[in-house]
């Protein structure tokens, strides 16, 4: 994604002919210059998905006006849609525990300008990573999980709303979110699970993988739903291991694959490349 | 690519706004149902590329009529374009020498219906593979290279035209084509080179790779031009090796990567997914 | 594996110090030239595994004499061991159904001399692949599964023994072997399963993968035990897919990964590179 | 590599029979417990390479005594050898410019205890990364390259020796070292080059890759010699790109592959897993 300001229009609607023509016709009619365009039909659901990036300076109006003028067309095709403005960065609230490999990677991508988001705060149930987070000039908030989980999760939800979070990132948070919290922010909580789902759901997946004797291990970035490790998958990857690798080696290889997979998933999400259809995702890379 | 008959429209033209709208508008106006749509702007060249797959049964006319009606619009945008009909298979003339791993793979994909092409004949400078080719019911033609290369290549060119070949596939042919032959069929000769180009151009690339001590080897499927191993690259891949691997091991690993890369390249070509821009390709996968 | 005749000594025994010294001392004492040596300690089981390839011509005696002389040392260390002679090829009995992508690959590797095994016969529950198998000069035996599975499997077991099979290869056989048959030939039946186990056990794994929305699919080569798709894994691999891929596309990608994974697993097995420890394998590549 | 103290014995010598027996016999004679053992014969050079990890607490003497007692045997076989003690960490002097993705990764692996080395200082020709390095408690030394390169490189060499560096790491240093400096520390300077060597030597490899239209890009970790980007390769990897990726995208993908490849190469080096043979490396992973 370049530095030029862009509007990103994402649409999902029942499939029929003429959708692309109608949408691109609307854009062309106002002189809009399309920078990137992607389409997909989900056969089982008979739904059509599209994503258009349009150069903001090629249009004679702003995002608000775009939305107003586009509404009748959207209604005609029964679209679920949104228009994102690249000048308004998404706000990611990051939750961590003690392990910092995903956080370290994420903050590096943020401070180098590769990941174009705002990070209003980092929340943790431990104090360990305070100094590292604060060195970045980002507020670090400790939420104690020992003195009652329910209250702690209420606190986290309140902090997320207080900081106007668009997305909650579980960067190896190691705590299972209560179902009510998951249901409250659908499609807005992203987790990195340290296995190639659906294999090895739940705790200690590297130990499970070691016991089963698999020849590759993986990681999965997914939206969190109220069913553990079962939400829509955004991104996955695997890495080869062999019989000589101990559980500690698996954990070490795993860290590399976890941060890579999480960072890709977050970038796709931040750039409005992920559309959800039932329990699956369309990722317009 | 499914079994439904489709027209595939591929276009390249100078970049400007409104192209997608004009083309998809034309299609929608005739009730055309777009099955797959891909777009790309080549920044350096300021050229726009697109590919549309349209269900043939959704249009009220045939390919010939489509071409006639589309011509004015194509002129307006200064398009280079073509419309392929999935009912008319591309004709691949395959050239081999003695090694059969690419041929074996290619003929399997052909007889299983995975690679939707016709193979009017296989040409070789050796007799070794006659029985295998003929078992498939495909004519096998031996062209002797010993009694004069120039005459042999003239013979090959004549056979290619006699069999109305759309594409000449060098499936480990091990002979360097004369420049005149390359120039005569631009974008219509596909080679598999057994290295990750631009590394290890020319003869014995696995020996070169072994001597250099690289940690991965690769293969490259590319269009043949009059400069050796320098034509537009369609597909590449690599595979990990280590210090324990001999040149023979590299050759063995290489066979796997060669057939995979060639088969992908041929599929992309056969499905009109490859557009050439200068010395680069756009591959709409 | 080169053409020079070799003895391959594979050993498994309780772990302690001095094992390597004792074994390599024995070999050195007779002037044996070690070509390849691999070691592994399985921590949980406290067992030691080793594999030595020795040039046959460097020893003053044959395999029989080697075995006799080595026996006391093997007893001292409580070894499970065997000595394979590269001049005596393993005999693979191949079982197929209608799909031939694994068979096609396997027979190519066999006829090109890459896979150094004998294939005394191919057994199938369909007639479809007779002509292709017989073109290779390999007997093709049709076993009818319609008229009673129990009798059919008895017939298969009898054929396996009649042809003195060392290993039964289920090259997409699509039939579940009865537990008694699995137990009768432990470590001697190899299957290719078309998923990345332990995900998607059982029928139609590509459909399962499609429904779950995973971003990579895989294949698994494993020894067959009486628990379905749960035996020791020899080799696995994965390939990336995306939302645009249909189940048919998954099946197509899957074919490539299945044949690759099966061929690697068979090579490891044929070269005595696989040692089993409980439900895991040590693969000395 | 676990936390238990270990001695790592690495050996290179002319190939002959009996080497493994002699070395493992020596170890066994003193009760040494071998944790990991690897062997390789380099055919062209007719040289044998081996690496043994031995538990320090299984031996009745220390590293100094081991070396003294092993010397006669080493002479007999004409060995080049060394014995490393895991309790004595290697000292890595890191050179950087302005880009911090490799440094960020390296320092994270160091502070998390994954990369078991000491980093006595970080040297840079820019001030940009001072705060980040100093947050880690590591001295940051700015060496001005503007006021004379020769003097600057003399300064760097002096700093390297002053800090008793074992290895100089060019973590995207972006400056070509003078040949004399390279020759002074053979096998002790490690560079990460941002291409899949031998393709795209020298400046701006991502631009070169973009122009050539390759379908994968890579990175190479290698020992620095006086010939630019031509030293022995320790590790490489590649990542897939496509026509939609700009040079900026290549740079972004490249950062991920660079840090991964460098970190692997450094770990292999730090754990004495890399042995050099001519212009190639043996890497006992």
Q: Tell me the per-residue pLDDT of B237-277, one tens digit each, with 9 for 90 and over.
A: 999 999 999 999 999 999 999 999 999 999 999 999 999 99
Q: Is C18 in contact with D28 (Cβ distance < 8 A)? A: yes
- Which sequence positions of D are flagged as catalytic? 229
Same structural domain, B131 and B215: yes
Q: Is C196 in contact with A199 (Cβ distance < 8 A)? A: yes
Same structural domain, C65 and C97: no
Q: Is D232 in contact with B238 (Cβ distance < 8 A)? A: no
Query: Cα-flanking dihedrals φ and ψ of residue A255, to 5°?
Result: -55, -40
Same structural domain, B34 and B131: no
User: Domain holding D229: CATH number?
Assistant: 3.40.50.170
C76 neighbourhood in chain D, CB within 8 Å: none
Measure A258 CA to nearest chain D CA, in Å.
Answer: 13
What is the rounded end-to-end Cα distance, in angstroms, of chain D? 11
Model pLDDT, residue C17? 87
A3 pLDDT more than 70 = no
- Across the range B138-154, mean pLDDT stands at 95
Residue C187 lies in a domain: yes
Model pLDDT, residue C260? 97
Rounded Cα gap, residues A183 and D178, in angstroms = 61
Tell me if residue D115 falls in helix, strand or coil: coil
The answer to whether D11 and D50 have CB atoms below 8 angstroms apart is yes
Measure B41 CA to nearest chain A CA, in Å.
Answer: 8
Model pLDDT, residue D1? 45
β pairing state of A274-277 and A280-283: antiparallel
Alpha-carbon dihedral B260, B261, B264, B267, rounded to 10 degrees: -110
Same structural domain, B38 and B97: no
Rounded Cα gap, residues A269 and A260, in angstroms = 14
Residue B98 lies in a domain: yes
The answer to whether C102 and C32 have CB atoms below 8 angstroms apart is no
Q: Please give the ipTM for the structure prediction.
A: 0.94
Model pLDDT, residue C2? 52
The shortest CB-CB distance from C112 to any of B101, B246, B256 is to B101
Q: How many helices (H) and strands (E) does chain C have?
A: 8, 13
- Identify residues of A whose CB sits under 8 angstroms from chain D CBs: 2, 36, 100-101, 104-105, 108, 112, 114, 131-132, 135, 244, 246, 248, 252, 255-256, 260
Q: Closest Cα to residue D216, out of D198, D196, D202, D246?
A: D196
Residue D1 lies in a domain: no
pLDDT digits (tens, 9 = 90+) for A81-131: 999 999 999 999 999 999 999 999 999 999 999 999 999 999 999 999 999
Residue A1 lies in a domain: no
pLDDT digits (tens, 9 = 90+) for D154-192: 999 999 999 999 999 999 999 999 999 999 999 999 999
Same structural domain, A78 and A24: yes
A235-255 residues labelled b (16+ CB within 10 A) or e (exposed): bbbbbebebbbebebbbbbbb
Same structural domain, B263 and B148: yes
Q: Is B114 in contact with C252 (Cβ distance < 8 A)? A: yes
Same structural domain, C81 and C95: no
The shortest CB-CB distance from D108 to any of A2, A101, A248 is to A101
Rounded Cα gap, residues D240 and D254, in angstroms = 10
Same structural domain, C37 and C72: yes
The shortest CB-CB distance from A17 to any of B32, B37, B41 is to B32
Count the neighbouring beta carbons within 10 Å of the beta carbon of residue B116.
15
Rounded Cα gap, residues B28 and B37, in angstroms = 13
Q: Is A28 in contact with B17 (Cβ distance < 8 A)? A: yes
Q: Locate B104 and state its tokens.
A: 């074996």
Kindly report the three-state secondary structure assignment for every residue of chain B.
Answer: CCCCCEEEEEEEEECCCCHHHHHHHHHHHCCCCEEEEEEEEECCCCEEEEEEEEEHHHCCCCHHHHHHHHHHHHHHCCCEEEEEECCCCEEEEEEECCCCHHHHHHHHHHHCCCCCEECCCEEECCCCCHHHHHHCCCCEEECCCCCCHHHHHHHHHHHHHHCCCCEEEECCCCCCCCHHHHHHCCCCEEEEECCCCCCCCCCCHHHHHHHHCCCEEEEEEEECCCCCCCCCEEEEEEEECCCCCCHHHHHHHHHHHHHHHHHHHHHHHHCCCEEEECCEEEECC
For residue D139, with 0-12 CB atoms within 10 Å meaning exposed, 13-18 middle and 19 or more buried, which class applies? Answer: middle
Report the neighbours of B using a cutoff of 3 or more CB pairs below 8 angstroms.
A, C, D
**Mean pLDDT per 10-residue run, chain C (285 residues)?**
84 95 96 93 93 96 97 98 97 97 98 97 98 98 94 97 98 95 96 96 94 97 95 98 95 97 98 97 96
pLDDT digits (tens, 9 = 90+) for D32-59: 999 999 999 998 899 999 999 999 999 9
Domains of chain A: total: 2
Measure B35 CA to nearest chain A CA, in Å.
Answer: 8
Same structural domain, D266 and D192: yes
Rounded Cα gap, residues A276 and A271, in angstroms = 14
Same structural domain, D140 and D181: yes
A28 neighbourhood in chain B, CB within 8 Å: 17-18, 20-22
What is the rounded end-to-end Cα distance, in angstroms, of chain C? 11
Q: Is C37 in contact with D34 (Cβ distance < 8 A)? A: no
The answer to whether C222 and C262 have CB atoms below 8 angstroms apart is no
Q: Which residue has the tokens 């959800």?
A: A276
D31 neighbourhood in chain C, CB within 8 Å: 17
Model pLDDT, residue B17? 87
Same structural domain, D51 and D186: no
CA D65 vs. chain centroid, Å, equals 28
The shortest CB-CB distance from B260 to any of C108, C246, C256 is to C256
Exactly one of B229, B237, B242, B256 is catalytic; name it. B229
Q: Is B2 in contact with C100 (Cβ distance < 8 A)? A: no
For residue C34, with 0-12 CB atoms within 10 Å meaning exposed, 13-18 middle and 19 or more buried, which class applies? Answer: buried
Measure C170 CA to nearest chain B CA, in Å.
Answer: 20
Rounded Cα gap, residues A237 and A251, in angstroms = 15
In what order do the strands lie in the sheet containing C6-14?
C34-42, C47-55, C6-14, C80-85
Measure D168 CA to nearest chain A CA, in Å.
Answer: 24
Q: Which residue has the tokens 């040039």?
A: C55
Q: Locate C125 and state its tokens.
A: 């529950």
Inter-chain Cβ pairs, chain B and chain D, closer than 8 A: 84
**Nearest residue of chain C to residue B285 (CA atoms):** C244
Out of D85, D112, D145, pick the residue that ends a domain. Answer: D85
The shortest CB-CB distance from A33 to any of B17, B25, B58 is to B17
Out of D35, D54, D85, pick the residue that ends a domain. Answer: D85
Measure B179 CA to nearest chain C CA, in Å.
Answer: 33
DSSP tag of C261 = H
Q: What is the share, in percent, of chain B residues with pLDDT greater than 70?
A: 99
Measure C44 CA to nearest chain D CA, in Å.
Answer: 14
Confidence of residue B2 (pLDDT cuts 50, 70, 90): low
**From its phi and psi, is residue B38 left (phi > 0), alpha (psi between -120 and 50) or beta?**
beta
DSSP string, C168-208: EEESS--SPPPHHHHHHSTT-EEEEESS-TTSS-SS-HHHH
User: Domain holding B17: CATH number?
Assistant: 3.30.70.260
Rounded Cα gap, residues C11 and C78, in angstroms = 10
Q: Which residue has the tokens 């100089």?
A: D168
Rounded Cα gap, residues B20 and C208, in angstroms = 36
Exactly one of C105, C166, C229, C272 is catalytic; name it. C229
D28 neighbourhood in chain C, CB within 8 Å: 17-18, 20-22
B25 neighbourhood in chain A, CB within 8 Å: 21, 24-25
β-sheet bridge partners, residue B94: B122, B169
Q: Which stretch of DSSP H or E encloses residue D141? A: strand D140-142
Q: Is C20 in contact with D22 (Cβ distance < 8 A)? A: no
Q: Locate C157 and state its tokens.
A: 């077991």
What is the rounded end-to-end Cα distance, in angstroms, of chain B? 11
C254 neighbourhood in chain B, CB within 8 Å: none
Domain containing residue B198:
90-283
Model pLDDT, residue B14? 97
**Nearest-10 crossing angle of helices B205-212, B247-270:** 120
Q: Which residue has the tokens 């409104």?
A: B18
The answer to whether B221 and B262 have CB atoms below 8 angstroms apart is yes
A112 neighbourhood in chain D, CB within 8 Å: 100-101
A58 neighbourhood in chain B, CB within 8 Å: 17
* Helix ranges (DSSP H) in chain C: 19-29, 63-76, 101-111, 130-135, 149-162, 179-184, 205-212, 247-270
B1 pLDDT more than 50 = no
Q: Locate B139 and state its tokens.
A: 């004519």
DSSP tag of C227 = S
Residue A121 lies in a domain: yes
Same structural domain, A12 and A27: yes
- Identify residues of C whose CB sits under 8 angstroms from chain D CBs: 17-18, 20-22, 24-25, 27-29, 31-37, 39, 41, 58
Out of B58, B85, B112, pick the residue that ends a domain. Answer: B85
Residue D116 lies in a domain: yes
**Nearest residue of chain A to residue D105 (CA atoms):** A105
Q: Closest Cα to residue C263, out of C97, C141, C94?
A: C94
β pairing state of B80-85 and B47-55: unpaired
Model pLDDT, residue C1? 45
Residue B1 lies in a domain: no
Range from A189-193, B99-103, D144-148 carrying the lowest mean pLDDT: D144-148
Measure C6 CA to nearest chain D CA, in Å.
Answer: 15
Rg of chain C over Cα atoms, rounded to whole angstroms, equals 20
**Nearest residue of chain D to residue B238 (CA atoms):** D238
Residue A176 lies in a domain: yes
- Identify residues of D whose CB sits under 8 angstroms from chain B CBs: 40, 42-43, 196-200, 212-216, 218, 232-233, 235-238, 242-244, 246, 279-283, 285
Confidence of residue D2 (pLDDT cuts 50, 70, 90): low
Specify the length of chain C in residues.
285
């Amino acid at each position: 994604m370049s530095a030029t300001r862009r509007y990103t229009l994402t649409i999902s609607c029942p499939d029929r002919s003429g959708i692309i023509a109608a949408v691109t016709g609307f854009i062309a009619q106002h002189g809009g210059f399309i920078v990137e365009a992607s389409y997909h039909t989900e056969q089982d659901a008979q739904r059509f998905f599209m994503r258009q990036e349009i150069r903001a300076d090629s249009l004679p109006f702003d995002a608000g006006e775009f939305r107003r003028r586009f509404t009748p067309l959207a209604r005609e095709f029964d679209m679920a849609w949104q228009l994102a403005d690249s000048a308004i960065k998404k706000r990611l609230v990051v939750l961590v525990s003690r392990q910092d490999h995903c956080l370290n990677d994420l903050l590096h991508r943020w401070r180098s300008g590769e990941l174009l988001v705002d990070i209003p705060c980092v929340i943790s149930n431990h104090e360990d990573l305070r100094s590292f987070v604060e060195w970045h000039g980002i507020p670090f908030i400790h939420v104690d999980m020992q003195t009652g989980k329910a209250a702690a999760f209420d606190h986290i939800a309140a902090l997320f709303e207080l900081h106007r979070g668009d997305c909650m990132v579980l960067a190896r948070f190691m705590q299972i979110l209560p179902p009510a919290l998951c249901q409250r922010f659908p499609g807005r909580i992203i987790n990195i699970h340290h296995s190639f789902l659906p294999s090895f759901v739940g705790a200690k997946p590297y130990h499970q993988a070691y016991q089963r004797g698999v020849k590759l291990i993986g990681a999965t970035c997914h939206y969190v739903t109220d069913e553990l490790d079962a939400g829509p998958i955004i991104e996955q990857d695997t890495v080869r291991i062999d019989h000589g690798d101990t559980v500690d080696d698996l954990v070490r290889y795993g860290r590399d694959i976890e941060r890579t997979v999480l960072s890709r998933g977050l970038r796709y999400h931040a750039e409005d490349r992920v559309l959800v259809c039932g329990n699956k995702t369309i990722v317009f890379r």
